[in-house]
């Protein structure tokens, strides 16, 4: 599973995460990405994605 959560740059060796971290939970808890929201399975925190409204 770690190959889906983290990305390693082969040139610099820098490690980055591919998923959002939950702002409420401790480090290492990531949020699931759904089609219209991000949700934490541990604490239930939810962030909704915004739709760009063109005028």
Q: Give Cα 54 to chain centroid, integer Å.
A: 26
Q: What is the pLDDT along the chain (55 residues), one digit of tens a residue?
A: 556 778 888 899 898 888 899 999 988 899 999 999 999 999 999 999 988 777 6
3-state secondary structure of 47: strand
Q: Do 39 and 31 meet the contact criterion of CB atoms below 8 Å apart?
A: yes
Q: How far apart are CA 28 and CA 15, in angstroms?
A: 14
Please tell me the distance from the alpha carbon of residue 39 to that of residue 46, in angstroms, as a whole number. 4
Percent of the chain with pLDDT over 90: 53
Instruction: Locate 29 and state its tokens.
Output: 């808890």
Domain map of the chain by residue range? Answer: 2-48
């Amino acid at each position: 599973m770690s190959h889906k959560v983290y990305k390693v740059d082969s040139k610099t060796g820098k490690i980055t995460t591919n998923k959002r971290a939950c702002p409420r939970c401790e480090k290492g808890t990531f949020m699931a990405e759904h089609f219209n929201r991000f949700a934490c399975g541990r604490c239930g925190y939810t962030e909704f994605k915004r739709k760009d409204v063109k005028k």
